[in-house]
């Protein structure tokens, strides 16, 4: 099992006392599989994704990633995890504005110590970015930007790809095209995919789905 969550609890402090965002979540995902995480706004699905990515830590429970419980790891270890094991695709603001497309694409792979120019070339071609490699992020369309983000994530060959509404900022046609690309490329690299979405339509295209409601899986 690549990813296993056990009895995850997460509270957010609010004006009216702590808010129980995640309540006893158990979840697992095998390598090479994809899982959709759906739910309404505020149901805690993004929080869950952030916990898995090591961007945030739970108040209780365990998260086993590749056999290691990442809960309680220090900042440096978590950073290493993000660098080498997981890849993140967000709704927006994925890219480093001061670097051009080529540098953005290569950034994480180089950071992870796994530069692979040949694979990058393939990715750029597959993602239709070969013509825009010298451009800067804000010179790209939203769809192109998201493709760069996907490419950058996959360039590092992470074992787990985490995507948070990756097409949420795109119109439906562009979104579908981008999602298709992502799914097929993830499948080709053999990575697992955990994707947060509020759309049933998109969720149905993944291997499996779980629904989050008021902090509990239903």
Partner 1 sequence: MVWTGLTALLSHWRRRPVQLAMLLLGLSLATALWSAVQAINGEARASYDRAAAILGQDRLAQLVREDGARMDQQVFVRLRRAGWLVSPVIEGEMRFGDVRLRVLGIDPLTLPPQAQQVNVAVGDELLPFITAPGVLYAAPETATRLTEQATPPVRVAEGLPPGTVLTDIGQAQVLLGAKDKISRLLLWPDQPIGRAPLKVTAPGLTLRQPSETGDLARLTDSFHLNLTAFGFLAFAVGLFIVHSAIGLAFEQRRQVFRTLRALGLPARVLVLLLIAELLIFALLAGLVGVALGYVVASALLPDVAATLRGLYGADVPGTLSIRPAVWAAGLAIAVIGTLVAAAQSLWRLWHLPLLAAAQPRAWARASERALRAQGVAAMVLLLTAAGIAQFGSGLEAGFALLAALLLGAALALPLVLTGILQLGGRLVRGPLAEWFWADTRQQLPGLSLALMALLLALAANVGVSTMVSSFRLTFTGWLDQRLAAELYVTARTEAEATAIHDWLAQRSDAVLPIWSVEGRVAGQPAAIYGVADHATYRDNWPILSAVPEVWDRIAAGDGALINEQLARRQELGLGDQITLPGGWRASIVGVYSDYGNPIGQVIIGIDTLVQHYPDVSRLRYAIRIAPGKAEALAAGLRAQFGLPAQNVIDQAGIKVFSLKVFERTFRVTAALNVLTLGVAGLAMFASLMTLSGMRLPQLAPVWAMGLTRRHLAWLELSRGLLLAALTMLAAVPVGIALAFVLLAVVNVEAFGWRLPMHLFPGDWARLAALALLAAGLAAAAPAWRLARLSPSDLLKVFAHER
Residues 96-125 that bind partner 1 (CB under 8 A): 96-99, 103, 106-108, 110-112
* Cα dihedral across residues 25, 90, 119, 82: positive or negative: negative
Q: Is 38 in the site for partner 1 (CB under 8 A)?
A: no
29, two tokens: 């995902």
What is the smallest separation between the CB atom of 123 and partner 1, expressed in angstroms? 16
Stretches 14-22, 47-55, 123-131, 184-192: which one binds partner 1 (CB under 8 A)? Answer: 47-55
Contact predicate 213/43, CB 8 Å? yes
Using DSSP, state whether 156 is helix, strand or coil: coil
Q: Is 91 in the site for partner 1 (CB under 8 A)?
A: yes
Residues 6+ apart with CB under 8 A from 192: 2, 3, 29, 30, 31, 32, 33, 34, 35, 159, 160, 161
Q: How far is CA 60 from CA 10, 19, 125, 184, 211, in A?
A: 7, 14, 44, 35, 21
User: Which single residue is written with the structure tokens 């990515």?
Assistant: 53
Q: Which is nearer to partner 1, 56 or 62 (CB)?
A: 56
Q: Which is nearer to partner 1, 43 or 46 (CB)?
A: 46
Q: Is 45 in the site for partner 1 (CB under 8 A)?
A: no
Query: In this chain, which of 22, 25, 48, 53 binds partner 1, going by CB under 8 A?
Result: 53
Q: Which is nearer to partner 1, 34 or 153 (CB)?
A: 153
Query: In this chain, which of 67, 76, 118, 173 binds partner 1, going by CB under 8 A?
Result: 76
Q: How far is CA 130 from CA 50, 93, 121, in A?
A: 31, 21, 8
Q: Which is nearer to partner 1, 111 or 177 (CB)?
A: 111
200, two tokens: 């049933």
**Most distant pair of Cα atoms in the chain: their distance:** 54
What is the smallest separation between the CB atom of 10 and partner 1, expressed in angstroms? 11
- Over the window 180 to 199, marking each residue x when it contacts partner 1 by CB under 8 A and - when it does not, the resulting string is --------------------
**DSSP count for the chain of H helices, then E strands:** 7, 10
Query: In this chain, which of 24, 60, 73, 92 binds partner 1, going by CB under 8 A?
Result: 92
Q: Is 56 in the site for partner 1 (CB under 8 A)?
A: yes
**Interface with partner 1 by CB under 8 A: which residues?**
46, 50, 53, 55-56, 75-76, 78-84, 88, 90-99, 103, 106-108, 110-112, 136-138, 164
């Amino acid at each position: 099992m690549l990813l296993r969550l056990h009895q995850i609890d997460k509270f957010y402090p609010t004006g009216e006392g702590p808010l129980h965002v995640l309540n006893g979540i158990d979840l697992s995902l095998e390598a090479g599989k994809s899982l959709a995480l759906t739910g309404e706004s505020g149901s805690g699905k993004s929080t869950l994704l952030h916990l898995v990515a090591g961007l945030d830590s739970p108040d209780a429970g365990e998260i086993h990633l590749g056999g290691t419980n990442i809960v309680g790891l220090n900042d440096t270890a978590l950073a290493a995890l993000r660098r080498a094991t997981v890849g993140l695709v967000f709704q927006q603001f994925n890219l480093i504005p001061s670097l051009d497309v080529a540098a953005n694409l290569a950034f994480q792979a180089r950071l992870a110590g796994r530069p692979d120019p040949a694979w990058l070339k393939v990715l750029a071609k597959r993602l239709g970015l070969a013509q825009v490699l010298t451009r800067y992020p804000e010179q790209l369309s939203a769809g192109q930007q998201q493709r760069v983000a996907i490419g950058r994530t996959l360039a590092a060959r992470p074992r787990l790809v985490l995507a948070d509404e990756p097409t949420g900022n795109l119109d439906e046609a562009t979104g579908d095209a981008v999602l298709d690309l992502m799914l097929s490329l993830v499948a080709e690299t053999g990575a697992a995919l955990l994707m947060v979405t509020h759309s049933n339509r998109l969720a149905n295209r993944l291997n499996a789905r779980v629904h989050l409601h008021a902090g509990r899986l239903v």
